[in-house]
Amino acid sequence: MEIFIYGFINSISLALIALGFALVYGISRIPNFAHGALYVVCGFITWSFVRSLELNYPLSIILAMISTGIIGGLIYLFILIRVRGMAISEIIASYAIGLAILEGLRWRGFKGMTYTLPTFKEGSLMLAGTPVDYHRLIVVGVGVCIVAFLWIFTHHTKVGLGLRAMAQDERAALMLGIDSDRMAVVAMGFGSMLAGLAAVLLLPLGNIVVEAGYNVLLLAIAVCIVGGLGSWVGAVMAAFLIGFAQILTVVYIGPHFQMVVALLAIILTLILRPSGLFGRQKELEERV
């Protein structure tokens, strides 16, 4: 039961971490390597609002997520738009931005374990004989809601349908009057907000450290590669696959090998099914 409960929690956490990355790539085809940095930035912004400005916690979370969304949009508008369509340049540019943000934070003194956020609800309960704290249960609840919201948003709203149109065929979407750059800004902003949401949900369980940015990026990439680049449904499925595999590894092999799972998943996917579980890049498989 412990494996099931904590495997489920771990999977939802991974899905939350990866959704933003999957969404941006799925719509604008931009691999946002600044994803991890935006996650950490949102954590520090929330911390600043809560601890320094002493704002109300829920308000701080909303403001921090909006700020992160704006930062993401601005990154696209001022930098990524210039290299759009050049895959290698997009990777280099977004990774460089992420690196600059993370190392800049470190340089400005955001280091150590003292940057923490309060949990949403203190205490824990016994779930089939396994202790689980309320905050983790909230993470699971919000995670499930977000997946449902994303589905409704992309299937039943004008902006969502526009984003899907872009993801399916950018040229056809352009012919139908959808502004691809505007949609890409929306996608980048929305993806960044999702990174921010993951941060405000998961960081209260630990502390805000710059190094988390690199780990989050690695996990997001692993989930998206296994799920299939561009498919957020695939990302959710892959999150469950990797999430449970990690917990099983910790229990039966040892915690030391937990990170290896994500890396091994990347390698195996690239060897056996390069376009991932739900990827649409069939040309990759054809080449293989």
Partner 1 sequence: MKRKPLLMVFALILGAALFFPLQSAFAEKPIVIGCPLSTAFVYGWDAQRAITLAVEEINGKGGVNVGGEKTPFKVEVIDTRDLEPGVPVSEALLVVEKLILEKNADFIMGGPVRSEAALAAMDLLSKYKEVSILTTGVLTPKYHARVAANYDKYKYCFRITGEAKWMVGGEIIPCLLEIGKEYGLNRLFIMIQDVAHARAGGGIIAKVMAKKGWHVIGQPEVYPTGSSDFSMGLLKARREKADVILIWMDMPQTSILLKQWYDMKIAALPFGSIIAAAEQPGFWKATEGKGEYCLANVVNAGNAPSNATPWTMKFVEAYKKRWGLEPEGYGTSSSYMAPYVLKEAIERAGSLDSEKVVAALEKTDMVGVYGRIRFDPKSHQVIPSLDPEKGAVGTIFQWQAGRRVVVFPKSIAMGKIKLPPWMRK
The length of the chain, given as a count of residues:
288
Any bridge partners for residue 131, and if so which?
A: 126
Q: How many residues bind partner 1 (CB under 8 A)?
A: 34
> Per CB under 8 A, does 239 bind partner 1?
no
Rounded Cα distance between 66 and 7, Å, is 30
Q: Which of 179, 211, 283, 285 is the binder for partner 1 (CB under 8 A)?
A: 211
What is the Cα 245 distance to its own chain's centre?
Answer: 19
The CA distances from residue 273 to 254, 268, 279, 286, in Å, are: 28, 8, 9, 10
Q: Which amino acid is at 51?
A: R
Nearer to partner 1, 48 or 116 (CB): 116
In the structure encoding, which two tokens stand for residue 98, read together?
Answer: 């992420």
Binding mask 250-269 for partner 1 (x = CB under 8 A): xx--xxx-xx----------
Any bridge partners for residue 126, and if so which?
A: 131
Residue 118 near residue 50, CB atoms below 8 Å: yes
> Per CB under 8 A, does 205 bind partner 1?
yes
Q: How far is the CB of 230 from partner 1 (least distance, A)?
A: 28
Q: Which of 210, 221, 223, 236 is the binder for partner 1 (CB under 8 A)?
A: 210
Strand ranges, E, within the chain: 124-127, 130-133
Residue entry with tokens 């689980």? 132
| Binding positions for partner 1, 112-131, rule CB under 8 A | 112-116, 118-119, 123-124, 130-131
| Binding positions for partner 1, 37-56, rule CB under 8 A | none
Q: How far is the CB of 256 from partner 1 (least distance, A)?
A: 4
Q: Which of 77, 95, 106, 164 is the binder for partner 1 (CB under 8 A)?
A: 106
The region of 27-35, 56-64, 107-115, 163-171 touching partner 1 under the rule CB under 8 A is: 107-115
Rounded Cα distance between 243 and 248, Å, is 9
What are the residues binding partner 1 (CB under 8 A)?
Answer: 2, 6, 10, 106, 111-116, 118-119, 123-124, 130-131, 133, 135, 205-207, 209-212, 215, 247, 250-251, 254-256, 258-259
